Amino acid sequence: MEYTKDIVLEISNKRQIGYYKLKEWTSNLKKIIKNNKIITFTLGLLIALMVVDFVLVNSFLELLSRV
């Protein structure tokens, strides 16, 4: 009987447990970002430059295909 209660309670509280794990994960991510500002800035800059590079290469290939 106790085993059945544990299974039922675990299933009913699964959504709340997932919410708390997600909240804990995001708070840990926020702490990492605040503590490592140089790394975060570098990664953001890297992603931005990759996007710009992709746009430039794509436009060059379109221009090349027209000629």
Q: Measured between alpha carbons, how far is 37 from 41 in angstroms, rounded to an integer?
A: 6
Rg (CA), the chain: 24
Note whether 40 and 33 are within 8 A (CB). Answer: yes
Residue among 40, 18, 15, 38 at smallest CA distance from 30: 40
**How confident is the model at residue 54, as a pLDDT?**
97
- Over residues 2-50, the pLDDT tens digits come to 556 555 555 556 666 677 788 888 888 889 888 999 999 999 999 999 9
Q: What angle do CA 57, 60, 61 make, to 5 degrees?
A: 85
**How confident is the model at residue 5, as a pLDDT?**
58
Q: How many residues does the chain have?
A: 67
Q: Read off the pTM.
A: 0.55
